[in-house]
Chain A
């Protein structure tokens, strides 16, 4: 089982589609389905963490892909999210099929790679595909700003990587981690590379002060680009954060607190902004910025399992919420919450899917989100951190208020607290919503199932294997 196929297949598809323009959608569909199937097969046949060398040169000399439970979760998440988004937005692909195929390859590369410079290359590929895809939204000025900001950020990332190479003479993440453990480089010397890598990743991860591009680029997004950027891209970049924080981010306490403050500031500010917004997609965008902040804060404090659970919950629920909102906005011409009163009374299936995803996002019991948030708060308490759980609970309340407000408006066409009269019913017309509602419902069922079933096994599987892999590769037991 060679995970390089997950990257090679979409690339090959893109190159072939350039020659035969007509078949690009077919090829894209085949590759998306094939990638999902292949990643599921890999997960089933998974026996233990390994590094797969590319070109036959063992790490740290050649480039290697890391295949462990952590990256398996990543590729499953990325490929399945990509497939579902493609399924819901097939009509919008247009001439962008090649770009989408390349972005799929890049996202898989970001999640799998175990080499810092290779990571930079894949982040660039993903970013350039994102710039091109966002031109679909006809907000070219914002796309230009995004391009400038993104390129500056990846330059900073490359600077950090170059400094690390100078210090350790290697680009392999696990090799650097083991050299760190052996040579005992002080935390002070690591400040510069860590800060630059953090800054470089925070544009795509949408952290303050680099997250400003999101609103401009995506507030009028269609149901293909927006969901892809807030789910697939966010998941891949945040997983890189996790990979780096658990291996080479040896931080002094001061630096750790400073970076955590950045992440928490993102969380709080974005939630408050989301609270004040009146448009569905803008609310969801700021909410996903906030969730990124939360995930990064958890990763920085070493809570990998909780961070992954929160991330998965965010990706799954945002996928449904954003796709449905963009779909509604495309067909009705507006996504102002006040103008969409009672839209779900006609399209009940859509409504149910939306509601389940929203409930899970807030973290109500019975839904998967509850498990994730509970895990986060509990493990923070266990590690003796008290202010962070308090902040998380506080913003969850804010999040709950605005989500419930949206839900009541969308379900109830009349005034609050009254049974709506027939004439207040506004007419909405959605086209071809069957596919979307099926996806929404299936994900909804999964969310509820994951919320009720005990998931302790997954947690153990995750924590034990990933950590033992690190210790083993550092020369431990």
Chain B
């Protein structure tokens, strides 16, 4: 179920990217898309009845059933990359706002 929802979230993000022309809305859509994608990747590593992949004094053996740690590591990387890109996009948007006085891409003149 969660996997279907994550794909739906990705599609919502894609819809936003296709239909919006406001820079902030575009950045938000991009983030929705990325969140959907990240949930999808985490869900790929889920194992039924699996434990969180950390050895503790309670779950102290590697013989127990754990969920797949690799997709979680991938998602961590993807999140950090998303943060970097969002920061860069916001900086661009702010710079553009300063020269054009608007966040709407269609209302910008002269480029």
Contacts and interface: CB of A to CB of B under 8 A. Distances in A.
A288 to B, nearest CB: 22
A461 B107 CA distance: 56
B60 to A, nearest CB: 24
A128 B88 contact: yes
Interface of chain A: mostly helix, strand, loop or mixed? helix
B108 A155 contact: no
A165 B111 contact: no
B88 A132 contact: yes
B17 interface: yes
Interface in A109-125: 117, 121, 124
B50 to A, nearest CB: 15
Given A144-B93, A165-B44, A152 B74 contact: no
A188 B64 CA distance: 36
B37 interface: yes
B53 to A, nearest CB: 16
Given A155-B34, A162-B44, A148 B74 contact: no
A58 B27 CA distance: 39
Contact of A159 (B37, B70, B85, B99): B37
Given A141-B111, A142-B111, A152-B17, A158 B37 contact: yes
Interface string B78-111: 1001001100110011011001000001001001
B30 to A, nearest CB: 6
Contacts of B71: 162, 165
Contacts of B108: 141
A474 B88 CA distance: 42
Nearest to A138: B111
A166 interface: yes
A251 interface: no
B30 A148 contact: yes
A151 B77 CA distance: 14
A139 B78 CA distance: 28
Contacts of B12: none
Interface in B1-44: 10, 14, 17, 23, 26-27, 30, 33-34, 37, 40-41, 44
A140 interface: yes
A158 B79 CA distance: 12
A113 to B, nearest CB: 14
A141 B105 contact: yes
Contacts of A145: 105
Given A131-B88, A132-B88, A141-B96, A162 B30 contact: no
A351 B74 CA distance: 50
A144 B85 contact: no
Contact of A158 (B23, B78, B92): B78
A140 B92 contact: yes
B45 to A, nearest CB: 9
Interface in A130-175: 131-132, 135, 139-145, 147-148, 151-152, 155, 158-159, 162, 165-166, 171
A227 to B, nearest CB: 22
A383 to B, nearest CB: 37
Contact of A152 (B30, B92, B111): B30
Nearest to B34: A155
Interface residues of A, number: 25
B23 A162 contact: no
A363 B40 CA distance: 47
A144 B44 contact: no
A211 to B, nearest CB: 17
A143 B85 CA distance: 13
Nearest to A125: B81
B14 to A, nearest CB: 7
Contact of A140 (B30, B34, B77, B96): B96
B85 to A, nearest CB: 5
B44 A152 contact: no
Given A140-B96, A141-B96, A152-B33, A147 B85 contact: yes
B70 A165 contact: yes
Given A121-B77, A141-B108, A147-B88, A158 B41 contact: yes
Given A141-B111, A162-B40, A165-B71, A148 B26 contact: yes
A210 to B, nearest CB: 13
28 contacts: A117-B77, A121-B77, A124-B85, A131-B88, A139-B111, A140-B92, A141-B96, A141-B105, A144-B23, A144-B92, A145-B105, A147-B92, A151-B30, A151-B34, A151-B85, A151-B89, A152-B14, A152-B17, A155-B10, A155-B33, A158-B37, A158-B78, A159-B10, A162-B40, A162-B44, A162-B74, A165-B70, A165-B74
Interface of B: 10, 14, 17, 23, 26-27, 30, 33-34, 37, 40-41, 44, 70-71, 74, 77-78, 81, 84-85, 88-89, 92-93, 95-96, 99, 105, 108, 111
Q: Which 4 A-B pairs have the closest CB atoms?
A: A141-B111, A162-B41, A166-B44, A144-B92
Given A140-B99, A144-B105, A148-B30, 18 more contacts: A124-B81, A128-B85, A131-B88, A139-B111, A140-B96, A141-B96, A141-B108, A142-B111, A148-B26, A148-B89, A151-B89, A152-B17, A152-B30, A155-B33, A155-B34, A162-B37, A165-B70, A171-B70
Interface of A: 117, 121, 124, 128, 131-132, 135, 139-145, 147-148, 151-152, 155, 158-159, 162, 165-166, 171
